[in-house]
C-alpha cells in the first residue's frame, strides 16, 4: 500500500508562525521553534511514504522548496494551499496527494513531536485494516488523519479551531459508516504551556 504524507505548512515568515508562542517568547524564537518542529516531523516520516508539502502563502513555493527539499532524499511534491477555511485546505491537500498515486493519504501538520517514526509506522500498519485512522489531540482536534479515499463530508460544517473538532469528525465518520481506528492521544505545540509539557524532547536538538 502506498501512503503519502500530506503536510499542511506555513512558510517560516517572521510574525506569521506560532503566534501564540510569539506572544510569550517573541517572534524570532517562535519562528526558530516552528522550524525545529517541522524539521523534526519530516525526519520522522517513514522512508517508504511519499511526501507532499501543501504550503501557504502561495507566493512561498521557492522558499519552501529550498528549505524542505534538502531534508529528505526522495522527491517531494509541493502544492500551494487554496484560500478558505481549514476544511477547504484539507480537502485540497487530500485530493492533490491522492492524485500522486497514493492508496492512502496521511494528513498532518508540522507541530506535533509525538508523531514519531514508531507512532507513524503503527498508524500506517493500522490503516491497512480501516477506512480511517485518526490521532486525537489534547485540545480537542486531531493531529493525524489517514484515509483510504476522499470523503468530502469529513471537512464540511466542522467548527474548526474548537474543542469539538475530533468529536464532530468522529460523528461524521459514524454517519458515513466508516471503520475507524483511534490512535493514542497526542499534543500539538501551540503555546508556552504545551511547549513545556512536550514529552518528546529530541526535536529540540535540531539546530
pLDDT in tens, 133-160: 999 999 999 999 999 999 999 999 999 9
Q: CA torsion sign, 196 to 108 to 143 to 9?
A: positive
127: three-class secondary structure by DSSP: helix
Q: Which residue has the higher pLDDT, 1 or 151?
A: 151
Place of cell 485540497: 92
**How is residue 138 written as a grid cell?**
489534547
Domain boundaries, the chain: 3-198
Q: Which residues contact 132 (CB under 8 A, 6 or more apart)?
A: 145, 146, 147, 148, 151, 173, 178, 179, 180, 181
pLDDT of residue 197: 87
**How is residue 58 written as a grid cell?**
502561495
DSSP annotation of 22: H
Exposed, middle or buried by CB within 10 Å (0-12, 13-18, 19+), for 174? exposed
Superfamily of segment(s) 3-198: Spore Coat Polysaccharide Biosynthesis Protein SpsA; Chain A (3.90.550.10)
The rounded distance, in Å, linking the Cα atoms of 168 and 154 is 9
Amino acid at each position: 500500500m502506498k501512503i503519502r504524507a500530506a503536510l499542511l505548512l506555513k512558510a517560516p515568515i517572521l510574525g506569521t508562525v506560532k503566534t501564540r508562542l510569539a506572544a510569550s517568547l517573541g517572534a524570532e524564537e517562535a519562528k526558530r521553534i516552528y522550524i525545529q518542529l517541522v524539521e523534526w516531523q519530516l525526519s520522522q516520516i517513514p522512508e517508504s511514504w511519499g511526501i507532499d508539502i501543501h504550503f501557504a502563502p502561495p507566493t512561498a513555493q521557492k522558499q519552501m522548496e529550498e528549505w524542505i527539499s534538502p531534508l529528505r532524499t526522495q522527491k517531494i511534491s509541493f502544492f500551494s494551499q487554496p484560500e478558505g477555511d481549514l476544511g477547504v485546505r484539507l480537502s485540497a491537500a487530500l485530493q492533490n496527494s491522492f492524485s500522486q498515486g497514493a492508496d492512502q493519504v496521511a494528513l498532518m501538520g508540522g507541530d506535533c513531536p509525538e508523531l514519531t517514526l514508531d507512532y507513524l509506522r503503527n498508524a500506517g500498519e493500522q490503516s491497512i485494516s480501516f477506512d480511517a485512522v485518526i490521532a486525537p489531540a489534547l485540545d480537542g482536534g486531531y493531529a493525524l488523519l489517514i484515509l483510504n479515499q476522499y470523503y468530502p463530508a469529513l471537512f464540511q460544517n466542522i467548527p474548526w479551531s474548537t474543542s469539538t473538532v475530533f468529536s464532530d469528525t468522529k460523528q461524521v465518520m459514524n454517519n458515513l459508516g466508516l471503520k475507524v481506528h483511534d490512535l493514542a492521544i497526542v499534543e500539538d505545540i501551540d503555546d508556552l504551556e504545551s511547549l513545556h509539557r512536550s514529552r518528546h524532547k529530541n526535536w529540540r536538538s535540531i539546530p
